Amino acid sequence: MRASRRVRGAYLLVLIVVLMAATIATYVFGRTYRTLALQKAPFGRLAYVPSFDPIEDVSLGVPMDSGNNAPATSTKDIRAIEVFPSQVVMLAGGHAHRVIDLKRPVSTLHDLVHLVNEPSWISERSTVVTLDAAVIDHVGNTMSVAAPVTTEVVMTVRQGVFLAANQATLTLSGVYFHASDHNTPVAGSRAAQRADLGRPFILATTHSTMTITNSTFRYLGRDWNSSYGVAWSKDSSGSVSGSVFEHNFIGIYTEHSIGLRIQHNRFYYNSLYGVDPHSGSSHLLVEYNISNYNGRHGIIFSDHVTDGIVRYNVTKANGLNGIMMDEASTSNKIDHNIVSDNKSDGIVLAESDNNEVAYNTITGNRVGVHIRGETEPKNAVFRNTIANNDMAAQGSGLSGNNSYGNGGQWTARRIASVWLTALALLVALMAITRMSRRGRDRRQTRSSRRQTGLGMA
Amino acid sequence: MLISVLPWFLLIAYFRPLFEIIFLAVGEWWFLTRFEEDRSKFNRYIVQITTVGREVERVNEIINEIRSYPLSMPYLIWVVIEPGNVVDYPNADEVIVVPAEFESVAQYKCRALEYSRTVRGRYGYTGPDTKITFLDDDTSPTWEYLETAFAGDYDICQGLTAPRVRYGSGPFTHFLLSHIDDLRFHNCMTYCSSFQGIFNAPLFVHGEGLTITGYTENKVGWNFRIFASEDLTFGCNAAHQGLRWGWFHEYIELTSPWTWGAYFKQRRRWMWGNIHAVVNRDVLPFWPAVRIAVRYGLSLFTFVGSGVALVLTLLGKIHIPQIWFSVFWCSLIVWLLNFAMSGWVNAGRREVNQTSFDFWANRVFQTVCAVVLTPFSASFTVVALITTLYMGNPRAFEVIGKTEKTSDAESYTADTAGAPA
């Protein structure tokens, strides 16, 4: 009886093993997988170095990469025009070059050119202003740079040239701002960083308000503290709309900015990101923008950027992800965006919880929705259309979303192949089992006969 | 190069359940189709229970259990004990007390086994027609086990250990320790079946239910310079000397430890017994020693490798193609299935007076518990490995209580077995 049980057991085992192998093979090989190797960052980036604020640098006349780790001596080549409500101070190498007392505040860049009247510092031809020094709109002052008075601002590529508001109000309207050369800022090496040392930028810092409308920004910014392109930092706010950001290091950067509105802008071919709210910024409104062909991400919220809204944007063909929430960027709503053909993933939530991802159209990316490092409260991903990505989702369920045509789809032909192979394998193994048992039985019979014969002898 | 290969090296740890299920299936298939039996070759069967002598009640229970079986062959039950203990085993055929003056290189249990070998030598039970099955004082063989062990046409063979005696019962410590032993069943089912049954190169050998011929015992002997791991030493040396190993799927039922202290003492004895065997060439030959060492290395690698890989994957430091993710999911499910099987089999012993409903309800409950406790059971085995290494070499055969009652007493060292000669 035990013998017959074993016979049945052997065939049953073969059947179970083949069924199990076929099930595993169906799960693994029964679906399509387009290449899902990680799209690596197009270039490396140097580690962040704590450094002086750029306004401190020009006020002291020290190189633009100075910090406690890299003490520097001042040089007269680094110059700043500091505009206060009651006076204008011109500094060279940290020392006063001129002080101009004002009867009334300077409110436009055009007025400043004529007031200073030193073309080697700031000059104007027709409606084009050229900056050869930093212009800092200081404490309580209000300045505007606007068409038709000023239509273009050329910012010379040399150390210490930028436009900034420090506890002030700055309005930019209908103006084309660009560096004096046509080089796109780069990153990835110390040499590149040094080469970009003089690349100009625009900054609103320390409770300033900067409002930008219908302007264009090109070839600005570099990989350094607050110098990334056009930036709002230290509780500054304002808005930017109808503007174009191209070939900058980062299109828009914010740090500890609250309530900034970024609407109806275009971000193309920026080295790193199109829109990069960072470090404790909150309640941002990012809507109706197009952020395409940037080196890394189209839009990225990183490092505790919370309570923002990202909606009705288009992010396409960026070097990495379309839209990303990174490093505890929580409680943001990402909806009604079109995220397509990005080299890495569509919408990525990395170590960021409680975000709502809904009503987006996510197509042609590596992974449609990618969530990693999630804890409670969970992100909500629903009512999105996720189509034709290499894979629909990773780290996220797909229920409540419309998902089709992504990789990882079941393929009837493959499944059929798997099960036909399994059938053939089953027949082969059954035959081998039968042969093996018969061989064993023959051996045992021979051995028994020999033993019996010996016993009789 | 190293950076790109390292993640895969770590991730291979995840594949282990898939490798194991293959070993398990092939080992089982081998038994079902190729395990050879020939009862006509054997005339004599000795079932030997080797005990220090302090589990009299449990040993008598085992003897009575065996006596209740309708065994088809003539057999003798021998009880081998250390001196100074009661010899009250009414249903045993022989009670052999190892004399204090008996001298051997082996110590403790191995010394007792060596002494019983000399007794068999005196009786002339040293030929291939004698079969001997060794039991511990915590093991119950099933009727099928004894029948198959006797009939197995091998120089040395053994079946499947399963912690089925009071498996998963209270107190809570015993419940947990029973499930930690799920891995023991799994290892036996996977590695004993294949490495003993197919490759003739044992990776694990358990003394419970080890069955050998008189010829095998006489040829290999028990006189090794060891204080523990006599089963592994004997089994590896037998294979090394060209003797034929067999493995069969019948259960030798044992008891998991009852206290944490007992658990660690038992594992410490095994661990250091094995280390002693691995590092001494007069105990284990070179290749068997390498095999055992690699086994430990692989266990550690699986734990560390999969742990590190998991963390790196969650941190987004390791990115792998989706197809491999699918394989890993399958591997994980197979791993859980393995533990489910352990729970199901281990809970398969019907206790006296247990109703049918209680039996099946408990079986399902223990199976679910085995699956739920999988991460705990698997990682605790590695914790025990590291802890017992830290505890150091006991240099003695520490015996633990085998029943709930005797486990209340302190475990003790079998020092009555004498110092090495």
Q: Quick count: other Cβ atoms within 10 Å of Cβ A410?
A: 11
Q: From chain B, pick out residues whose CB is under 8 angstroms from the CB of A29.
A: 323
Nearest-CB residue to A452 (from B40, B327, B330): B40
Residues 6+ apart with CB under 8 A from B293: B278
Amino acid occupying residue A453: G
How many whole angstroms separate alpha carbon A235 and alpha carbon A228? Answer: 17
Are A143 and A182 in contact, with CB atoms under 8 Å apart?
Answer: no
Nearest-CB residue to A433 (from B33, B319, B321): B33
What's the whole-number mean pLDDT along residues A14-34? Answer: 89
pLDDT over 60 (residue B412)? no
Please indicate whether residue A270 or residue A189 has the higher confidence score (pLDDT): A270
A64-68, A189-193, B132-136, B253-257: least confidently modelled range: A189-193
Please indicate whether residue B134 or residue B381 has the higher confidence score (pLDDT): B134
Predicted pLDDT of residue A455: 42
Predicted pLDDT of residue B125: 94
**CA distances to B275, B277, B294 from B289, in Å:** 9, 7, 9
What's the whole-number mean pLDDT along residues A444-448? Answer: 77
How many whole angstroms separate alpha carbon A164 and alpha carbon B50? Answer: 90
Nearest-CB residue to A33 (from B319, B321, B330): B321
**Strand pairing report for A122-125 and A128-131:** antiparallel
The SS3 call for residue B289 is helix
Residue A257 burial class via C-beta count within 10 angstroms: exposed 0-12, middle 13-18, buried 19 and up: buried
What mean pLDDT is reported for chain A? Answer: 90
Mark out the alpha helices in B124-188 (DSSP H runs). Answer: 143-151, 172-180, 182-187
Predicted pLDDT of residue A452: 62
Predicted pLDDT of residue B102: 93
Interface test with A, best of B32, B314, B320 (most A CBs within 10 A): B32
How many whole angstroms separate alpha carbon A193 and alpha carbon B166? Answer: 71
Q: Quick count: other Cβ atoms within 10 Å of Cβ A206?
A: 16
Residue B251 burial class via C-beta count within 10 angstroms: exposed 0-12, middle 13-18, buried 19 and up: buried
pLDDT over 70 (residue B316)? no
Task: Quickly state the pLDDT bin for A457 (edges 50, 70, 90).
Answer: very low
What's the whole-number mean pLDDT along residues A397-407? Answer: 81
Q: Cβ–Cβ of A372/B153 closer than 8 Å?
A: no
Are A22 and A419 in contact, with CB atoms under 8 Å apart?
Answer: yes
How close is the nearest chain B Cα to the Cα of A151, in Å? 46
How close is the nearest chain A Cα to the Cα of B348, in Å? 18
The string of DSSP codes covering B37-49 is B-GGG--EEEEEE
B178-194 confidence digits (pLDDT tens): 999 999 999 999 999 99
Task: Quickly state the pLDDT bin for B303 (edges 50, 70, 90).
Answer: confident
pLDDT over 60 (residue B409)? no
Are A326 and A301 in contact, with CB atoms under 8 Å apart?
Answer: yes
How many whole angstroms separate alpha carbon A332 and alpha carbon A304? Answer: 11
Predicted pLDDT of residue B419: 32
Predicted pLDDT of residue A384: 94
Predicted pLDDT of residue B417: 41
pLDDT over 90 (residue B124)? yes
**Type and span of the H or E element at B278:** helix B260-279
User: Whose CA is closest to A248, among A268, A220, A274, A289?
Assistant: A220
Please indicate whether residue B399 or residue B165 has the higher confidence score (pLDDT): B165
Token code pair at residue B120: 């068999």
Q: Cβ–Cβ of B322/A27 closer than 8 Å?
A: no
Residue of A nearest to B318 (CA): A38
pLDDT over 50 (residue A456)? no
Are A270 and A247 in contact, with CB atoms under 8 Å apart?
Answer: yes
**Type and span of the H or E element at B76:** strand B76-81
Q: Cβ–Cβ of B321/A36 closer than 8 Å?
A: yes
Q: How many CA atoms lie within 13 A of B406 on its CB side?
A: 19
Q: From chain A, pick out residues whose CB is under 8 angstroms from the CB of B41.
A: 447, 451
Q: Cβ–Cβ of A433/B29 closer than 8 Å?
A: yes
A340-387 confidence digits (pLDDT tens): 999 999 999 999 999 999 999 999 998 999 998 888 888 999 999 998
Q: Where are the domains of chain B?
A: 1-411
The string of DSSP codes covering A29-86 is HSB----------SS--PPP-----HHHHHHHT--TT-BTTB-----TT-EEEEE-SS
Residue of B nearest to A36 (CA): B321
Interface residues on B facing A, Cβ-Cβ cutoff 8 A: 21, 25, 28-29, 32-38, 40-41, 144, 147-148, 153, 314-316, 319, 321-323, 326-327, 329-330, 334
Residue of A nearest to B248 (CA): A6
State pTM to two decimals.
0.65
Predicted pLDDT of residue B421: 26
A121-168 confidence digits (pLDDT tens): 999 999 999 999 999 999 999 999 999 999 999 999 999 999 999 999
Query: Please, what sign has the CA dihedral across residues A414, A418, A420, A421?
Result: positive
Residue A233 phi/psi, 5-degree rounding, is -140, 165
Query: Please, what sign has the CA dihedral across residues A103, A108, A112, A114?
Result: negative
Tokens 């004529």 sit on residue? A114
Q: Cβ–Cβ of B34/A10 closer than 8 Å?
A: no
**Type and span of the H or E element at B97:** strand B94-97
What's the whole-number mean pLDDT along residues B329-346? Answer: 94
Q: Cβ–Cβ of B321/A451 closer than 8 Å?
A: no
Report chain B's C-alpha Rg in angstroms.
21
Give, to the nearest 10 degrees, the angle between helix B16-34 and helix A412-456: 40
How many whole angstroms separate alpha carbon A409 and alpha carbon A386? Answer: 13
Nearest-CB residue to A9 (from B32, B322, B323): B32
Q: How many residues does chain B have?
A: 421
The Cα angle at residue A359 between residues A353 and A364, in degrees rounded to 5:
90
Task: Quickly state the pLDDT bin for A240 (edges 50, 70, 90).
Answer: very high
Task: Quickly state the pLDDT bin for B403 (edges 50, 70, 90).
Answer: low
Residue A405 phi/psi, 5-degree rounding, is 65, 15
Please indicate whether residue A5 or residue B95 has the higher confidence score (pLDDT): B95
Interface residues on A facing B, Cβ-Cβ cutoff 8 A: 2, 6-7, 9-10, 13-14, 17, 20, 24, 27-29, 31, 33, 35-38, 350, 372-373, 391, 394, 407-408, 433, 436-437, 439-440, 443-444, 447-448, 451-452, 455
Q: Does domain B1-411 have CATH number 3.90.550.10?
A: yes
How many whole angstroms separate alpha carbon A294 and alpha carbon A347? Answer: 15
Are B102 and B418 in contact, with CB atoms under 8 Å apart?
Answer: yes
Predicted pLDDT of residue A300: 97
The SS3 call for residue B264 is helix
β strands within B139-269, DSSP E: 140-141, 156-165, 211-213, 245-255
Q: How many residues does chain A have?
A: 457
Are A52 and A448 in contact, with CB atoms under 8 Å apart?
Answer: no
Amino acid occupying residue A256: H
How close is the nearest chain B Cα to the Cα of A24, in Å? 6
A191-223 confidence digits (pLDDT tens): 777 777 889 999 999 999 999 999 999 999 998
What's the whole-number mean pLDDT along residues A176-204? Answer: 85
β strands within B227-297, DSSP E: 245-255
Residues pairing with A393 in the sheet: A369
Reading phi first (left if > 0) and then psi (alpha if -120 to 50, else beta), residue A107 is in alpha
pLDDT over 60 (residue B274)? yes
**Type and span of the H or E element at A299:** strand A299-302
Are A257 and A277 in contact, with CB atoms under 8 Å apart?
Answer: yes
Nearest-CB residue to B41 (from A28, A373, A451): A451
**CA distances to A241, A242, A243, A299 from A264, in Å:** 5, 5, 7, 14
Predicted pLDDT of residue B2: 57
How many whole angstroms separate alpha carbon A92 and alpha carbon A133? Answer: 9
What's the whole-number mean pLDDT along residues A229-246? Answer: 96
Q: Cβ–Cβ of A10/B326 closer than 8 Å?
A: no
Please indicate whether residue A170 or residue A34 has the higher confidence score (pLDDT): A170
Are B176 and B205 in contact, with CB atoms under 8 Å apart?
Answer: no
Q: Cβ–Cβ of B153/A447 closer than 8 Å?
A: yes
Q: From chain B, pick out residues whose CB is under 8 angstroms from the CB of A448.
A: 38, 40
pLDDT over 80 (residue B90)? yes
Are B155 and B212 in contact, with CB atoms under 8 Å apart?
Answer: yes
Q: Cβ–Cβ of B330/A35 closer than 8 Å?
A: no
Residue B246 burial class via C-beta count within 10 angstroms: exposed 0-12, middle 13-18, buried 19 and up: buried
**Type and span of the H or E element at A90:** strand A87-92
The Cα angle at residue A268 between residues A262 and A273, in degrees rounded to 5:
70
Q: Cβ–Cβ of B147/A440 closer than 8 Å?
A: no
**Type and span of the H or E element at B287:** helix B286-314
